[in-house]
Amino acid sequence: MAKKLVTPEVFRKKVADQSDLFLITERAQGVYHEFLPQGLRVIKTPKELIFPEWEGVYRFSFQDRSWKVWEIETGDFSPRFLFLLPCEARAVIEVLDGNFLQKDYIDKNYWQRRKNLHLIVLGCYTIPKTCFCSLVGGNPLWRDGRSLFVLPFQGELYVENDETMLFGEGKSVDAREEETLATREEELKASLPPPLPSDFPQKLYAHFDEGIWKDLSWRCINCGACTFLCPTCYCFDLSVEGRLRGLTLKTWDSCMFPRFTLHASSHNPRPTGKERVRQRVMHKFSYLPLREGYYGCVGCGICREICPVNWDIRETVERMAKYLG
């Protein structure tokens, strides 16, 4: 893995020169400002670039007494570079890619958007109050071979994994610097709360019918703010627009909504807020880890930040962990 040091001036110039290619998430914007140029396009959540709020899946039309159906192709996207925080990158790489790019089925339109989106992870030194990435196995300096990594280091920028030389040659990292970095990383990690116990998903699964869920869910008003701004939530709905001519729409959906599980028979297996809140916690902290091996939550804390009634997923999970022992 290529490691180098770049001066902030060079970095800023490289980005500013092609600023139309670069985007930044709102959260990353909030943490980083000093070495990034002004005026980059800010997006709410990384998923909106690859899994947009709405898109057409296929078009249909009734012509000459028969139905015609066309798939809607998104076409090619030019390369884009997205600055984002480690938690958000983890959400894209582990959870969204894991869901839409499975071995047996690849979502074509997702892949069209994803393949030219390059992630640039901005490591966190300052940790906002809302974050809890260490609880779900992440850390503020999380990175991975599938993304670039940038970290302010001794007045310069430490860049890792820049295969295409996006930020130029730079200076190589010597052994002492590498050691300093490693110690810092260790210190940072040690200062964070420990991860959830490894048997947590299993235990949570076994406590599906606990009365505590009613208590935990009372406050939640079942809006979709958390799920829509969550970088990992990937549930969507399909609806048909038009009668004899129209298209099938794919839109974001949320497990918080009553219609999410409404059957055609009008039976709803998740009739109240209790079941819906339980589903959200269970999906992220039990079903996904048990089935796929990763949590459906990356601990970015956006849901805690924006919840209208301060329904707190960290509090809930910690309370459950304590309750389950």
Partner 1 sequence: MVNEDRWEPKIVAFLCHWCSYAGADLAGVSRIQYPPNVRVIRVPCSGAVNPLYILRALREGADGVLVSGCHPGDCHYLSGNYFARRKFFLLKELLSWLGIEEERVQFSWVSASEGQRFAQVVQDVVESVKRIGPSRKMVKEFLLHV
Partner 2 sequence: MYEEEIRALSVKLLDEVEGVIGYSWGTLPFRARPFLCQKKEDVTHLVFNHFCGSNLARYLLSGELKEKKIAILAKACDARAITVLIREGQVKRENLVIVGIPCYGMVDRKKLEERFGPLQPQDFEWHLDSLTFKGENLSIGPFLEATCQRCLHPNPPLYDHLIGQEVTYIPRKRWNNDALTKLDMVSREERWAFFAGEFEKCIRCYACRNSCPLCYCKECFAEMQRPYWLSGAATPSENLFFHVGRSLHMAGRCVECGACERACPVDIPIALLPCKVEELIRGNFDFEAGIDPDKEPPLLTYRENDPGEFIR
Give the footprint of partner 2 on this chain (CB under 8 A): 44, 53-54, 129-130, 214, 218-219, 221-225, 227-229, 237, 239, 241, 249, 251-254, 257-259, 272-273, 304-306, 308-312, 314-315
Decide if residue 59 touches partner 1 (CB under 8 A).
yes
For residue 62, the SS3 value is strand
> In whole angstroms, what is the distance from residue 201 CA to residue 148 CA?
31
Decide if residue 224 touches partner 1 (CB under 8 A).
no
Choice between 8 and 246, CB closer to partner 1: 246
Which of partner 2, partner 1, none does 309 bind, CB closer than 5 to 8 A by kind?
partner 2
Query: Which residues does 204 contact at the CB level (< 8 Å), separation at least 6?
Result: 281, 282, 285, 286, 320, 324
Decide if residue 52 touches partner 1 (CB under 8 A).
no
Q: Where are the alpha helices (DSSP H) in 91-174?
A: 97-100, 108-115
Which of partner 1, partner 2, none does 273 bind, CB closer than 5 to 8 A by kind?
partner 2
Q: Which of the ranges 8-16, 188-196, 209-217, 239-247 carries the binding residues for partner 1, by CB under 8 A?
A: 239-247
The total number of residues shown for the chain amounts to 325
Choice between 182 and 240, CB closer to partner 1: 240
State the sign of the Cα–Cα–Cα–Cα dihedral 262, 265, 270, 273: positive
Which of partner 2, partner 1, none does 59 bind, CB closer than 5 to 8 A by kind?
partner 1
Decide if residue 247 touches partner 1 (CB under 8 A).
yes
> In whole angstroms, what is the distance from residue 153 CA to residue 171 CA?
13
Choice between 60 and 158, CB closer to partner 1: 60
DSSP code for 289: H
Bridge-based pairing of strands 148-153 and 117-122 is parallel
Contact 67, 49 (CB under 8 A): no
Angle CA 87–89–91, to nearest 5: 70
Which of partner 1, partner 2, none does 304 bind, CB closer than 5 to 8 A by kind?
partner 2
Which of partner 1, partner 2, none does 214 bind, CB closer than 5 to 8 A by kind?
partner 2
